[in-house]
Chains A and B, each alone.
Chain A
Amino acid sequence: MNASERPDHSPPLGSETRVVAFEIKHTQIIDHHGAPLGPLPEFAKDPAELIKLYRAMVLTRLFDNKAIALQRTGKMGTYASSNGQEGVAVGMGSAMQPCDVFAPVYREYGTQFMRGVAMHEILLYWGGDERGMNYAQQRQDFPISVPIASQIPHAVGAAFAMKLRKEPRVSVGVLGDGASSKGDFYESLNIAGAWQLPVVIVIVNNQWAISLPRHEQSFAATLAQKGIAAGVPCEQVDGNDVIAMRYIMERALERARNGGGPTLIEALTYRMSDHTTADDASRYRPPAELEGQRQFDPIMRLKNYLTHNADWDDAKEQALQAECSAEIESEVKLYLDTPPMPPESMFDHLYETLPAIYKEQRDEVMQLGATGGGEDHV
């Protein structure tokens, strides 16, 4: 049923006119075999540019595999995998400029790496160490946000700051399909529209919110259409097509940068992993569904394109994999070689200057040392 139809198809009474009509467009530029469906955007005509995107996706996938291995071997805590979603992340990252601001959830490693966030920082975070969110690069970007959808008001607020300061920058906020049910999202989307703020909000629809499938999350035909009620231009894109993702993202960023206001993008993708390493998706997700999604893999798709159009071959592939693995290994080493912070550091960065009243507590922590005063504790 189309939501604009009357459910019983009853005839109109009195005067009935169409006040406004809506539609949602979906963009795909290469199909899932890697074949172009029409002309390519300018950037995609340069093979070197596409190889950059390919490299970023491969790096993210290999990082992901490594992070899961670290968790499984007790060297890191719970980790949220981005396997299958690299096209969305790299598409966003490649379209953004360094001066923009990024407000991620917890699966946007591909974007973060492109923006200069270090792999060992992400590992430190999931390894239970606050220093991971003190990015050495991209000092303006937001930390990973675990309370679902709570980062979208931040993204919109950052955009308002940019507008107030007349800066040609754009804020990008990301959320999941599940998160699009939260008030934080609706409330700030509405303000973004009302105040015409330079923000791009991306719903990463990976079809699941832990165990809740997309169709049980919302009865809406698309999640993109949530922008309509807020007067925010909105569209859908095949997020596993990194070329389309970057193209749509660039267009939205450009409009925002030129004073054209916000955009809501729904990127369709699939969570190929468990929700996190603490989850077991086999309890709720049919294995056939997962298998059926493999053919849409974003990395394989671009690889097929490069093989047919840019002389990509096994030798190049192997060289790339080796290069990425070496980069990851050195970052993992940095992570593993980082000693824990001293216990009293929990009082650091609480305020600019720690109020004197907390000194006694801090001294106690310092004096109790690494075990908190008990070897057998916790």
Chain B
Amino acid sequence: MSEITMVEAINLALARALEEDQNVVVFGEDVGANGGVFRVTAGLQKRFGGERVLDAPLAETAIAGMAVGMATQGIRPIIEIQFMGFIYSAVDQIINHASRMRNRTRSRLTCPMVLRTPHGGGIHAPEHHCESTESMFAHMPGLRVVIPSSPQRAYGLLLAAIRDPDPVIFLEPSRLYRLMKEEVIDNGEALPLDVCFQLRDGKDVTLVTWGAMIHETMQAADQLASEGISAEVIDVATLKPLDMETILTSVAKTGRCVIVHEAARTCAIGSEIAAQLAERGLMSLFAPVQRVTGYDTIMPLFRLEKQYIPSTARIMAAVKKTQEVS
């Protein structure tokens, strides 16, 4: 088995889903002949035909709303929004219909759909192509929000999202699409949608993060190790519903927590994690919880994106702050 990128792993999961369930349909802008602007859907139209993998006209509201309609009638739509910055006209359909169709019809009609979209910056892309607004979706009752951080987790989490009976927002960190390769076994095995991944075992501090920030966070953990600080790293991956148990258990062990995310600081998922730590984990904390995040600014154009996205050095500095108190 060879090692593959996250783009290839997602493609593999989509192909597996199309293969195993005739009701799976993939559509969105440029996903057909072009294979998606990141090549995630490359070859799928050729393999599964233009009725099941198809290009939509340019209309995000309709794409999301049609997915709701299709899902209620037995199809399992997987829609692609080309970049997260173009998801907002689909939000009406997501918050007003996809997330609550089950609730308002008492499960008579349901929405087993997946909305995939690239997430985050760091790839020198143009304006509106670098958004990380996952907390908007985490705020909407009835949705699941998932963000993988490796090819293997992307494969297993996407399969789980597709098989899940409820709507899932599946965010794909575009910086990780081709950053690393990993062995992925195409065995159709899904990963659970409601537990965090513990990527590294440690005892001095818990680093909590997700998506592309896993990269800098793991780097920080390596550097900390060489300085004698042992960091546990948790990949939240399934952002909603949030698995606080794993985080609380870890913090009970380490007594310190640093939350790292690319999204702007205010009212982000980091805020929720910190709030729950205050509610339920305060007694195990030796130091105030630290957050290392994107700033409360508009995502800058790429000349300054490096200064916006949290660096390893910023994570290190935050960890050091937690170690000062004992």
Contacts and interface: CB of A to CB of B under 8 A. Distances in A.
Contacts of B129: 146
Contact of A372 (B85, B124, B311): B311
A218 B59 CA distance: 11
A128 interface: yes
Nearest to B31: A211
A373 B303 contact: no
Given A147-B85, A212-B30, A350-B298, A127 B303 contact: yes
A283 B61 CA distance: 27
A178 B58 CA distance: 6
Given A341-B303, A372-B308, A373-B313, A283 B33 contact: yes
Contacts of B311: 368, 371-374, 377-378
A278 B209 CA distance: 30
Contacts of A182: 58-60, 89
Contact of A147 (B35, B62, B86, B219): B86
B125 A374 contact: no
Interface string B298-317: 10111111111101111001
A284 B124 contact: no
A377 B304 contact: no
Contacts of A374: 216, 311-314
Given A146-B85, A346-B304, A183 B61 contact: yes
Contacts of A345: 304
A77 B309 contact: no
B36 to A, nearest CB: 10
Interface string A345-378: 1110010000000100100010010111110111
B8 interface: no
B155 to A, nearest CB: 25
Residue from the set A217, A343, A345, A373 with the largest chain B CB neighbour count within 10 Å: A373
A377 B303 contact: no
Contact of B57 (A144, A147, A211, A217): A217
A341 B304 contact: yes
B128 A78 contact: no
Contacts of B265: 361
Interface string A114-132: 0000000000011111100
A216 interface: yes
Contacts of A128: 124, 301-305
B58 A378 contact: no
Interface residues of A, number: 49
B32 interface: yes
B214 to A, nearest CB: 14
Contact of B30 (A211, A376, A377, A378): A211
B55 interface: yes
Contacts of B32: 211
Contacts of A284: 33-34
Q: Is the contact region of chain A dominated by helix, strand, or loop, or is it mixed?
A: loop
B296 interface: yes
B127 A370 contact: no
Interface in A108-167: 125-130, 144, 146-149
A184 interface: yes
Contacts of B298: 346, 350
Contacts of A212: 29-30, 55, 57-58
A377 B33 CA distance: 35
B197 interface: no
B301 A129 contact: yes
A207 interface: no
B281 interface: no
Contact of A343 (B29, B216, B296, B307): B307
A189 to B, nearest CB: 15
B278 interface: no
A376 to B, nearest CB: 7
Contacts of B286: none
Contact of B300 (A130, A147, A370, A376): A130
A9 B86 CA distance: 42
Nearest to B313: A373
Contact of A146 (B126, B308, B312): B126
Interface string B119-133: 000101111110000
A224 B311 CA distance: 50
A305 B207 CA distance: 69
Interface string B125-149: 1111100000000000000000000
Nearest to A369: B307
A44 interface: no
B89 A183 contact: yes
B304 to A, nearest CB: 6
Given A178-B57, A179-B58, A347-B295, A378 B305 contact: yes
Nearest to A361: B295
A363 to B, nearest CB: 11
Contacts of B125: 77-78, 278
Nearest to B311: A374
Contacts of B326: none
B34 A368 contact: no
Given A283-B35, A372-B314, A374-B312, A346 B297 contact: yes
B125 to A, nearest CB: 7
B37 interface: yes
A371 B305 CA distance: 10
Nearest to B54: A216
21 contacts: A78-B126, A128-B124, A128-B302, A146-B126, A148-B58, A183-B61, A183-B62, A210-B37, A211-B33, A216-B55, A346-B297, A346-B308, A350-B298, A358-B295, A368-B311, A370-B307, A372-B307, A372-B314, A374-B314, A378-B175, A378-B305
Interface of A: 77-78, 125-130, 144, 146-149, 178-179, 181-184, 209-212, 216-218, 278-279, 283-284, 340-341, 343, 345-347, 350, 358, 361, 365, 368, 370-374, 376-378
Given A129-B301, A371-B311, A377-B313, 6 more contacts: A212-B55, A218-B57, A358-B296, A372-B311, A372-B314, A377-B216
Interface of B: 29-30, 32-35, 37, 55, 57-62, 85-86, 88-89, 122, 124-129, 175, 216, 219, 265, 295-298, 300-309, 311-314, 317
Closest 10 CB pairs of A and B: A374-B311, A211-B34, A128-B302, A373-B313, A343-B307, A372-B307, A128-B303, A178-B58, A377-B311, A181-B57
